[in-house]
Chain A
Amino acid sequence: MAKITFDGIEVEVPDGTTILNAARTIGGGIVPPAMCYYTPLKGSGGKCRACLVRVAAGSAKDPRPMPKLVASCVTPVQDGMVVENTTSEQVLNVRKGIVEMLLINHPLDCPVCDQAGECDLQNFAFEHGVSTTRYEEERRTFEKIDIGPLIQLHMTRCILCYRCVYTADQLTEKRVHGVLGRGDAAEIGTYIENIIDNEFSGNVIDVCPVGALTDKTFRFKQRVWFTKPVNAHRDCENPKCCGKVVLWYKGKDVLRITARKDQYGEVKEWICNTCRFDKKETSDWTIEGPAHIDRSSVISANHYELPVLNAQVIADLPESSVRDLEQNPPMRLGN
């Protein structure tokens, strides 16, 4: 076991635990944000740099501070380590910079994006960002493509967290999509074959932190904040599928089905495509009750913060959200 101090709070965790997971055992507002790390996916993390923290003392043995901020999601704790997150001005400033970087090439199309309302980037920007951008250059754009009949890839929104790649690698036998190209021209793609066809491929939708991979069977049917999430399960024939899902209702209709996420937005048990795409009748399921969507503040608080105010396209906002918007003007990006 290792004892560490995180933002002044002491916590003891098993050796080898990452700083991020140690912080999660404390919970609450001190937990660093994570845009690429995903506990169930081996090898994930370290890329987005959202979770950078300051190590003020490396360990009891060597109490020197670490020279640079470290990615808390991939850095293991040491006994006696002292970590600063929300207590460090430097960390908070750097994080603002990370938000800015992630947004410079991100399309400002939140109002028309399916993910709006449950987008990690939107939350991240809202909670940690600054409200202006200094970016005057042209944004990178890609054509959106269908990867099979069930999933759509809107690459322009991708933040290259690699989660979908690890998911396909670790959940399916034959990964057909990956990261092509490099630098800021890198993209998620399939090169020539363009069908992701596998019983577990749908999970890439759930792991995607932004609206880059979306459920085609749900697209444009409904804004997410109009839907009501309900936990349900069924006896799935597929031995690798847990059969435990969230049904997203509008009235009596199941609009879409997702795996269950924990408070950090992580799916701990995967579901198969049959459960996700083919069982859209209430009669297919045993209903457990309303799902608690904890951390996605945007949904649970029933308010919707647009990173961009774009009046023409948000005409369909519900009354409550409009009121909310008036009271809490969203941040403005762009000039």
Chain B
Amino acid sequence: MGRKLLTEHINVEGIDTFEVYRKHGGYRSVEKAVKTMTPDEVVEEVKKSGLRGRGGAGFPTGLKWSFLAKPEGVPRYLVCNADESEPGTFKDRQLMSKLPHLLIEGMITSSYALGANTSYIYIRGELLYVLRILEKAIAEAYAAGFLGKNILGSGYDLDLYVHPGGGAYICGEETALLESLEGKRGNPRNKPPFPAVQGLYARPTVVNNVESIAAVPVIVNDGGDEYAKIGVGKSTGTKLISACGHLNKPGIYEIELGVPVEEFIYSDEYCGGIWKGRDLKAVVAGGSSVPILPKELILKTAAGENRLMTYESLSDGGFVTGTMLGSGGFIAMDETTCIVRNTWNFSRFYHHESCGQCSPCREGTGWLEKILHRLEHGHGNERDIDVLASVAKQIEGNTICPLGEAAAWPVSAAIRHFRDEFEWHVRYPQEATRPGAVFPGKAVLA
């Protein structure tokens, strides 16, 4: 059994209340930080921990914190990214609804480290019920003296608020999130300036994912070095994996980074194998934006080594034979899955979610979806597959924000690894579009 740093107490009765949470060692990191450590010392521990952002990009959290501009007399902000909208990802929702005080504790300790006196949790609008849970927990934390003026007599003040979104995946992108928090459309900003210099209300701001913030209490309590001992290489600590799709036991698993992918899928401790006794066909390992991999490449790298659940191992082979850990949204597909259909579905998602500001993404996402829609519905032609690949390339790297790439990668990867199945849709549209049709293998194309 791996260690559970975040979710150890998740099933304890009443753990969503301040009292029970506190009894189980909650808020110790706040006491330790504000009473015995300077803000810089907290940042130092987070740096030592090797914690990498859990929102998808995997950027070292401590390093990000050290970039925060600190002009005299200008307020700065910590904003928690609880927009969780990447298809396949549902860990933050679970964490916040079951362990609201863990996030709040992390927000207080982290805000202290950054010198923020006002912090926000930006939660996706669909999760209003979780917002209610968080607001209740925040009220308890105020009442107990962990929020508000002069926290625990330390002289440090912090106000913490929860702000709902309104239904827009793009608001997970940090600058779109800040625009949204300012009451505007979620249009990502051009960078530079980066949020660390001009973020919320044009003031220095750090944006971090829920899970990143939730890891801070453990790091402060046990020390960054202790945290860094868990995991493999630069993938330290534990990670919440949202397992979904055709698995026997979908759900949230807190794993020590380094668990072999095969074990994660098949062992009873985790997902318990593929449902209905079927074979695995493909996996999207880090949320819908990362490249899909066929069974052979998700279980073993191209060099034949066991693939591990780490940032490095999953990206081994680059985009040719590898993928990314991303947000940890682990989507498994069984042997009956139609890859064209799935790719179309994801394309529709990005088309629907593009903010529409920049031309390659606004126009390109629609183009991709329309071609894939035709292919999936039996109206493809010989050119389509190449046009798809080239439109994806035209978007990639040329947009304001990474949604462009997120839309392009799944298409490029699906074609890279499952081109035969696309060809089949073009050449045998009647068979391919029959309800429940399963690709019979490349032999049919011969």
Question: CA A157 – CA B363 in complex, angstroms?
Answer: 13
Q: B234 at the A/B interface (Cβ < 8 Å)?
A: no
A162 to B: closest C-beta gap in Å: 8
Interface pick from A94-102, A212-220, A251-259:
A94-102
Determine if B394 and A97 form an interchain contact, defined as CB atoms under 8 angstroms apart.
yes
Determine if A49 and B356 form an interchain contact, defined as CB atoms under 8 angstroms apart.
no
Q: Contacts of A48 on B, CB cut-off 8 Å?
A: 358-359
Q: A45 at the A/B interface (Cβ < 8 Å)?
A: yes
Assess A184 versus B192: contact at CB under 8 Å? Given A101-B394, A137-B371. Answer: no
Q: Contacts of A159 on B, CB cut-off 8 Å?
A: 359
Q: Contacts of A97 on B, CB cut-off 8 Å?
A: 360, 394, 398
Determine if A160 and B192 form an interchain contact, defined as CB atoms under 8 angstroms apart.
no
Assess A49 versus B367: contact at CB under 8 Å? Given A94-B394, A182-B354, A184-B354. Answer: no
Total count of chain B residues near the partner, CB < 8 A:
30
The proximity string for A residues 164-193 relative to B, scoring 1 for CB distances below 8 Å and 0 otherwise, is 000000000000000101111110000000
Q: Contacts of A69 on B, CB cut-off 8 Å?
A: 397-398
Q: B365 at the A/B interface (Cβ < 8 Å)?
A: yes
Determine if B367 and A183 form an interchain contact, defined as CB atoms under 8 angstroms apart.
no
The proximity string for B residues 332-362 relative to A, scoring 1 for CB distances below 8 Å and 0 otherwise, is 0000000000000000000111111111101
Q: Contacts of A74 on B, CB cut-off 8 Å?
A: 190
Q: Contacts of A49 on B, CB cut-off 8 Å?
A: 358-360, 398-399
Determine if B190 and A183 form an interchain contact, defined as CB atoms under 8 angstroms apart.
no
Assess A47 versus B400: contact at CB under 8 Å? Given A105-B363, A137-B367, A186-B356. Answer: yes
Question: CA A269 – CA B175 in complex, angstroms?
Answer: 33
Q: Residue on A with the closest CB to B399?
A: A49
Question: CA A59 – CA B185 in complex, angstroms?
Answer: 34
Question: CA A126 – CA B225 in complex, angstroms?
Answer: 60
Q: Contacts of A138 on B, CB cut-off 8 Å?
A: 370
Q: A46 at the A/B interface (Cβ < 8 Å)?
A: yes
Q: Residue on B with the closest CB to A45?
A: B190
Determine if B354 and A94 form an interchain contact, defined as CB atoms under 8 angstroms apart.
no
Q: A2 at the A/B interface (Cβ < 8 Å)?
A: no
Determine if B360 and A76 form an interchain contact, defined as CB atoms under 8 angstroms apart.
no
Q: B383 at the A/B interface (Cβ < 8 Å)?
A: yes
Q: A142 at the A/B interface (Cβ < 8 Å)?
A: no
Determine if B362 and A186 form an interchain contact, defined as CB atoms under 8 angstroms apart.
yes
Assess A183 versus B359: contact at CB under 8 Å? Given A46-B190, A134-B387. Answer: no
Within 8 A of B (CB), among A139-167: 140, 159-160, 162
Q: A52 at the A/B interface (Cβ < 8 Å)?
A: yes
Q: Residue on B with the closest CB to A184?
A: B366
Determine if A76 and B192 form an interchain contact, defined as CB atoms under 8 angstroms apart.
yes
Q: B250 at the A/B interface (Cβ < 8 Å)?
A: no
Determine if A183 and B398 form an interchain contact, defined as CB atoms under 8 angstroms apart.
no
Q: B309 at the A/B interface (Cβ < 8 Å)?
A: no
Q: Contacts of B400 on A, CB cut-off 8 Å?
A: 46-47, 71
Q: A61 at the A/B interface (Cβ < 8 Å)?
A: no
A160 to B: closest C-beta gap in Å: 6
Question: CA A134 – CA B371 in complex, angstroms?
Answer: 11
A315 to B: closest C-beta gap in Å: 32
Assess A184 versus B358: contact at CB under 8 Å? Given A46-B400, A97-B398. Answer: no
Q: A13 at the A/B interface (Cβ < 8 Å)?
A: no
The proximity string for A residues 35-66 relative to B, scoring 1 for CB distances below 8 Å and 0 otherwise, is 00000000001111110100000000000000
Q: B322 at the A/B interface (Cβ < 8 Å)?
A: no
Determine if A183 and B360 form an interchain contact, defined as CB atoms under 8 angstroms apart.
no
The proximity string for B residues 365-391 relative to A, scoring 1 for CB distances below 8 Å and 0 otherwise, is 111001100100000000100010000
Q: Residue on A with the closest CB to B381?
A: A136
B394 to A: closest C-beta gap in Å: 4
Residue in B168, B367, B370 with the greatest tally of chain A CB atoms within 10 Å: B367
Determine if B365 and A183 form an interchain contact, defined as CB atoms under 8 angstroms apart.
yes
Q: Contacts of A185 on B, CB cut-off 8 Å?
A: 356
Question: CA A71 – CA B398 in complex, angstroms?
Answer: 9
Question: CA A162 – CA B184 in complex, angstroms?
Answer: 15
Q: Contacts of B398 on A, CB cut-off 8 Å?
A: 49, 52, 68-69, 94, 97-98
Determine if A47 and B363 form an interchain contact, defined as CB atoms under 8 angstroms apart.
no
A229 to B: closest C-beta gap in Å: 30
Q: Residue on B with the closest CB to A187?
A: B356
Assess A71 versus B190: contact at CB under 8 Å? Given A137-B370, A160-B362, A184-B365. Answer: yes
Assess A46 versus B363: contact at CB under 8 Å? Given A97-B398, A183-B353. Answer: no
Q: B364 at the A/B interface (Cβ < 8 Å)?
A: yes
Q: Contacts of A183 on B, CB cut-off 8 Å?
A: 351-356, 362, 365-366
Question: CA A62 – CA B132 in complex, angstroms?
Answer: 48
Q: Residue on A with the closest CB to B364?
A: A101
Determine if B394 and A184 form an interchain contact, defined as CB atoms under 8 angstroms apart.
no
Q: Residue on B with the closest CB to A50?
A: B359
Q: Residue on A with the closest CB to B360?
A: A101
Determine if A102 and B190 form an interchain contact, defined as CB atoms under 8 angstroms apart.
no
Question: CA A135 – CA B387 in complex, angstroms?
Answer: 9
Q: A104 at the A/B interface (Cβ < 8 Å)?
A: yes
Question: CA A186 – CA B359 in complex, angstroms?
Answer: 12
Assess A100 versus B394: contact at CB under 8 Å? Given A45-B190, A183-B352, A184-B351. Answer: yes
What are the 9 tightest A-B residue pairs by CB atom distance, in nearest-first order? Answer: A97-B394, A46-B190, A186-B356, A137-B370, A101-B363, A183-B354, A183-B356, A184-B366, A74-B190
Known: A49-B359, A184-B363. 20 other contacts (CB 8 A): A48-B358, A50-B359, A68-B397, A68-B398, A71-B190, A76-B192, A94-B398, A101-B362, A101-B394, A105-B363, A137-B371, A138-B370, A140-B366, A179-B356, A182-B354, A183-B351, A183-B354, A184-B356, A184-B365, A185-B356
Q: Which residues of B contact A (CB under 8 A)?
A: 168, 185, 190, 192, 351-360, 362-367, 370-371, 374, 383, 387, 394, 397-400
A-B contact pairs, 16 of them (CB 8 A): A47-B400, A49-B358, A68-B398, A71-B400, A76-B192, A97-B398, A98-B359, A101-B362, A101-B363, A134-B383, A134-B387, A137-B366, A159-B359, A184-B351, A185-B356, A186-B356
